[in-house]
Structure 1
Amino acid sequence: MTLLVVSAMFGGGVFNIPQNMAQSAALGAILVAWLISGLGIFFLARSFQVLADIRPELTSGIYMYARAGFGKLAGFLIAWGYWLSVAFGNVGYAVLLMDALNYFFPPYFAGGNTWQATLASSAIIWGLCFLVMRGVKGASVLNNIGTVAKFVPVTLFLLVVLYFSFSRDLFTSDFWGNVSDQARQDKPLGGVIDQIKGTMLVTLWMYIGIESAVVMSDRADAATVSRATLLGYFLVTVLFVLVSILPFGVMSQGELAAMAPPSTAAILASLVGAWGEVMINIGVIIALLSSWLVWTLLVAQLPWACARDGTFPKIFAKTNKAGIASFSLVISTAIMQAAVVLVYFSNDAWNLMLSITGVVILPAYIGSAAFLWKVIWSGDYPADAKIGKISALSISLIATGFGLWLVYAAGVQFMLAGAVIYAIGLPVFYWARRSSAGSERAFTGVEALTAIALFLLAAAAVWMLITGQLPQVYSS
């Protein structure tokens, strides 16, 4: 379970953290951003830990928590958003993988969205689908091997930077991003708050997967889920912070911001030569395939769990002889295929997938933390829980506040794009409710108003996209 959590978070994105973070912020703001994100995610992980203890019957809890606390539509929307965020995240892996392959086969995979990259990504997406169809055990063994293997290049990168090339003077210069730098073409970074906000979707992307043990909680006991979540969190946090800040002791913020992905490869090549770049790119490929495999498991798990209780149409509960949610996996793969085609027409494929994934997963995190708060407030918190009521209340409030801060940091433009994604799911919810609820109304009064509001927001967002008023979200 711990390796599952680590592999879900520790994907290929870690190899491009230096450029991703330096693009929006200087070292001081990056440290503050990691402090905020690290604490926020810690309390979110603690929320999962508490909920696994007090409500162990809610397996696949990332959506069941919202459903139990806020109704069927809320549960569906959380599940829908999480499901699509996983699918889009896999397409983000495809973009990074193609960039790594482009190092060995230039220029066919440049940017991750050439026609060659699109064909290769499509082949891998369906190949992983058929691999997972064969069963969880074999996929888990491959993931464990890949997880261990991808630590090697990252560890070597950190050792080379820290012990052989690190400059303390360079590390502490321009700490808050006030010095003009020609390498970034004199692009102003803005104030510290703006810099921190600019990194939030990056840090959120890196932590996506913290909930993976919860999603697979029907395959383990609550204590295992809890320990794996926290251990995985601590392991990856240390690595994320080190990989993002130590390069500032080798290059300036402007130089880091201008690098092509994966930026760790370019940094290591400048220090040890071409072999370092080769090793990092191989590490990226191993890391991405390993994490991609984990997320292929997860992408099918949630719709299957939702279908069993009527939140998704019943057909999603269909399994094959190996016990894999076959229909859910095929539909998920088809969605990823459509997203790969969308990426082909995008100017900035990686940032598009990163931003969309971060925005649509936020309600899943906020809903889980808010459910814990509701359980405590309603007086249903068990007296014999491992974590006291006051501590649990503090955990839930901080985790919810962190989620709302991320909504603010993401910005209105990406929240509008998220409304489009959620609105697309409403007909699926109607289908599921009509097929499982019999004569019961598909929408309650409040749910109907929520659905109308979502459709209006989605219509406004589509119009703004068509007229070019949301270039931050999508530009072809």
Structure 2
Amino acid sequence: MAQQQAPEQAVKVTVLTLTAMVVGSMVGAGVFSLPRRFAQETGVGGALIAWAVAGTGMLMLALVFQRLAVRKPDLDAGVYAYAKAGFGEFIGFYSAAGYWASACVGNVTYWVLIMSTLGEWIPALGSGDTLIAVALSSVGLWGFFLLIRRGTKEAAAINRIVTVAKLVPIIVFVLLAVFLLDPAVFADNFRGADYGGSLFEQVSDTMLVTVFVFLGVEGASVYSRHARRREDVGRATILGFLSVLAIFASVTVVSYGIMPSSQIAELRQPSMAGVLDSAVGSWGTAFVSAGLIISVLGAYLAWALMAAEVLFVAAGDDDMPAFLGRSTDRDVPVNALLLSTALSQTILIITMFSQDAFDFALDLTAALTLIPFLLAAVYALKLCLTRETYADARPAVWRGDLLVAVLATLYTAFLLYAADLKFVLVSLIFYAPATALFVLARREQGRRVFSPREAMGFALIAAGAVLGVIALAAGWVSL
């Protein structure tokens, strides 16, 4: 039976389980799509630079979450809470809404990729965007809703097991690709095909996909209220990030030693299956496909938990309607979970009308996440500049944290520059109606809906949303 508020003592998990949440949420659909996405944009040289930039930038962001978990131990569901603490309720709401939406859209990529994988043997499923594929994906969405509703502790335990299971096929892929790597093919792919743009443009064009695959680096921070010790949040974040960076970079680079980049760029998703098929035959496709399904289902479980957690904590802070703050006696934020599943269902239906369902959902997920990430980095920078929480800190500690915050802010700002404008416009189409949740929360509390500054901010968001709708209707922007 649902309760009006969360239990006083949330279910606690170990640092190992928190790390599994980070790895489990990061290693999902994205890693299986990396060969094609990179080969479409750049060669080996550009890929190495891209991973160096993305790895360094995301490491700085991971360190930001680690520092903030210690500096601000009273703030739960970090991405949302940091934006609110630093810039007020209105900005905090949109950070929570954007992060929540990115998780829900990201969950759609998992089902699209599963159906696209099965489409290799069942043509009716196509690339995961046919009516039958969407219907089967919908069954999966609601089946997981019922599973997670049984209890947070049980879902987290399942995720830990699945995280171990899904790493095995990815590691086997990397080892086989290294063993079968053709030095001549690898050398030919170093510069890749004639991509037309400069090396800077090639690297920039890979940035959204690196954002997508690194989503989840903040997983331990989002789930921080369940940590046994606050220090565990930071440890899990760094351990998970470094493990996954090694995996992602390896999958991308070794693929260039198996096939010409022009051929990799034409593979259907999951392109990792096509690469291994070229190297070892048809069993490679089956092997990767089985690993993908395990991996994606585990990632979906982790992200479904995190999406609901953000809404739940925001409701507990009176920044979302009260009904989203209700949980069961097993600590499951059931209404937040229900709304998250409903949004994923809506996006899943929209994918039937997109040109490339998987790439559309992937890039939109990344674009929705950029603002919440940037706000968290700027909040860390603000703490350093104002020296809040640093009054008794040694100068070396303060300088180190300042450097981390500056680099994380510059990196996330660069990602906004690299993002396609159309995804920013589509994001605003979501943000405008999502404001209804903010309005409902304010009215429940008997407060004025918008301050003058907030009204101005909403007007800008609404104008951007209208422009986005016009762009879609006129064909200036396509999905």
User: CA offsets per residue over residues 19-41 of structure 1, 9 Å max, x none?
Assistant: 11111112111111111110010
Equivalent residue, structure 2, for 1:126: 142
Alignment map for 1:153-164 (pairs within 5 Å): 153-163=169-179
User: CA offsets per residue over residues 168-191 of structure 1, 9 Å max, x none?
Assistant: 2321225233x55xxxxxxx4421
Contact 1:202 1:354 in 2 (8 A): yes
Change (3 A) 1:189 1:96: farther
Letter of the 2:184 counterpart: D
Give, in whole Å, the separation in 1 of the partners of 2:419 and 2:220: 26
Give, in whole Å, the separation in 2 of the partners of 1:268 and 1:253: 14
Give, in whole Å, the separation in 2 of the partners of 1:412 and 1:15: 26
- Whether 1:374 aligns to 2:382 is yes
**1:465 alignment partner, SS class:** helix
Give, in whole Å, the separation in 2 of the partners of 1:139 and 1:240: 25
Structure 1 residue 352, shift from structure 2 partner: 0.8
- Whether 1:394 aligns to 2:409 is no
Structure 1 residue 414, shift from structure 2 partner: 1.9
Equivalent residue, structure 1, for 2:5: none
**1:111 alignment partner, SS class:** coil
Give, in whole Å, the separation in 2 of the partners of 1:255 and 1:15: 16
Gaps of 5+ in 2: 1-17
Contact 2:259 2:278 in 1 (8 A): no
Structure 1 residue 321, shift from structure 2 partner: 2.4
| Percent identity of paired positions between Structure 1 and Structure 2 | 35
Equivalent residue, structure 1, for 2:4: none
Contact 1:8 1:212 in 2 (8 A): yes
Equivalent residue, structure 1, for 2:185: 170
**2:268 alignment partner, SS class:** coil
Where does structure 1 differ by over 4 angstroms across 4 or more consecutive aligned residues? 384-387
State which of 61, 64, 74 in structure 1 corresponds to 2:78: 61
State which of 191, 203, 216 in structure 1 corresponds to 2:198: 191
Alignment map for 1:26-175 (pairs within 5 Å): 26-103=43-120, 105-163=121-179, 165-175=180-190
Letter of the 1:19 counterpart: R
Structure 1 residue 134, shift from structure 2 partner: 0.3
- Whether 1:314 aligns to 2:314 is no
**1:108 alignment partner, SS class:** helix
Give, in whole Å, the separation in 1 of the partners of 2:72 and 2:393: 10
Contact 1:381 1:389 in 2 (8 A): no
Structure 1 residue 204, shift from structure 2 partner: 0.5
Contact 1:176 1:192 in 2 (8 A): no
Structure 1 residue 304, shift from structure 2 partner: 0.6
Give, in whole Å, the separation in 1 of the partners of 2:138 and 2:392: 50
User: CA offsets per residue over residues 243-282 of structure 1, 9 Å max, x none?
Assistant: 0011111111101101111111112122222222111100
**2:387 alignment partner, SS class:** coil
Letter of the 1:11 counterpart: G
Letter of the 2:127 counterpart: G
Contact 1:125 1:333 in 2 (8 A): yes
Give the number of equivalent residue pairs. Answer: 460
Contact 1:95 1:350 in 2 (8 A): yes
State which of 411, 417, 423 in structure 1 corresponds to 2:420: 411
State which of 447, 459, 463 in structure 2 corresponds to 1:452: 459
Give, in whole Å, the separation in 2 of the partners of 1:54 and 1:146: 32
Equivalent residue, structure 2, for 1:9: 26
Letter of the 1:71 counterpart: G
Equivalent residue, structure 1, for 2:6: none
Equivalent residue, structure 1, for 2:10: none
**2:184 alignment partner, SS class:** helix
Equivalent residue, structure 2, for 1:249: 257
Normalising by structure 2, we get a TM-score of 0.94
**2:449 alignment partner, SS class:** coil
Contact 1:54 1:385 in 2 (8 A): no
- Whether 1:337 aligns to 2:353 is no
